[in-house]
């Protein structure tokens, strides 16, 4: 599939967890562009996939609205 901008990833995978091999970060270390390695509405599925990734710079992102009752560590 190749690299996509984070905005394009958000549009395509709305409401899903996404494992991204990033190719570009901004000054705040947030993903700007990367390749989607896996996506799923099930967070645990993405973390299982993460265990098999070696030697790549990756990020796990949620492509939806964060519920008010969920704590997020950045």
Q: Is residue 70 part of a domain?
A: no
pLDDT at 1: 66
Contact in structure between 20 and 4 (CB atoms under 8 Å) = no
As for how many domains the chain has, the answer is: 1
Which residues constitute the domain of residue 40?
A: 4-62
pLDDT at 42: 95
Q: Is residue 19 part of a domain?
A: yes
pLDDT at 69: 73
pTM of the model: 0.86
**Along the 74 residues of the chain, how does pLDDT read in single tens digits?**
689 999 999 999 999 999 999 999 999 999 999 999 999 999 999 999 999 999 999 999 999 987 677 666 65
Q: Is residue 71 part of a domain?
A: no
pLDDT at 7: 96
Contact in structure between 35 and 9 (CB atoms under 8 Å) = no
């Amino acid at each position: 599939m190749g690299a996509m901008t984070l905005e394009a990833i958000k549009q395509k995978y709305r409401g899903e967890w996404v494992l991204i091999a990033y190719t570009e970060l901004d000054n705040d270390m947030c993903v700007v562009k990367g390749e989607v390695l896996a996506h799923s509405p099930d967070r645990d599925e993405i973390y299982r996939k993460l265990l098999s990734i070696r030697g790549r710079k990756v990020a796990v992102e949620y492509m939806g609205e964060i519920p008010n009752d969920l704590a997020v560590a950045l």
